Amino acid sequence: MKAAARGFTLIELLLATVLLATGIALAFATLGAATRTATRGEAMAERSERMRAVEGFLRRRLTAARPVGFAFDQGRAVAMRFVGEPERMRFVSDLPDYLGRGGPYLHDLVVENDGDGVRMTLALNMVLAGQTIEESPVRPPELLVEGLREARFRYRALDERGRMGEWQERWETSEQLPLQVEVTMVDRDGVAWPPLVVAPPLAPAFSAFNLPVQTQ
């Protein structure tokens, strides 16, 4: 006679259940880790793309800056061509025709609080005959970048000996363009962007020889 088939004991069933549950838990943990890795990768790629876009835009605008007056300083009797502060920078640069705003425009970059941190905005107004022409109706500033902990501008010129000077928090010589402009930004989570250093065109000549520029 054949022996009767032996069934599973309760302990064997419990052990099989535990092993199955453990396998499922490991599978979900692996999937979760892969998802988090992919999410971090996407976030890093998005951040890198945002950095490249913002820094590329600022570099193009600053390298296209022109020594064109956008206002007149009555106290110093000079045309204002570049005004720089730690959280605000104003200069004239040509906008390409494909943006529908060809010609010289005052670029007014401002770092302002947005509640949880700071953001950088850009206001654009046409410049004509040394004066800024405000649009009607007034166009609100455009958001350039948000989600920052801090953002600052600094400026540099040649010193009286013709050597590279120290970085300045403010650019007081508004009738001239600085030799270099530095833009630093830090994300809200503390990640610092690579410092952006740009040399506006014609800046060395004006800074080195301190020559006035004819008012446009």
Q: What's the whole-number mean pLDDT along residues 54-76?
A: 92
This prediction has a pTM of: 0.72
pLDDT band at residue 211, thresholds of 50, 70 and 90? very low
Q: What is the C-alpha separation between 105 and 110, in angstroms, rounded?
A: 16
pLDDT band at residue 143, thresholds of 50, 70 and 90? very high
Prior bond to 137 cis, omega within 30?
Answer: yes
Average pLDDT, the chain: 83
Is 153 in contact with 86 (CB distance < 8 Å)? yes
Q: What's the whole-number mean pLDDT along residues 46-69?
A: 88
pLDDT band at residue 6, thresholds of 50, 70 and 90? low
In 3-70, beta strands by DSSP E: 65-66
Q: At 12, which helix (H) or strand (E)?
A: helix 10-63
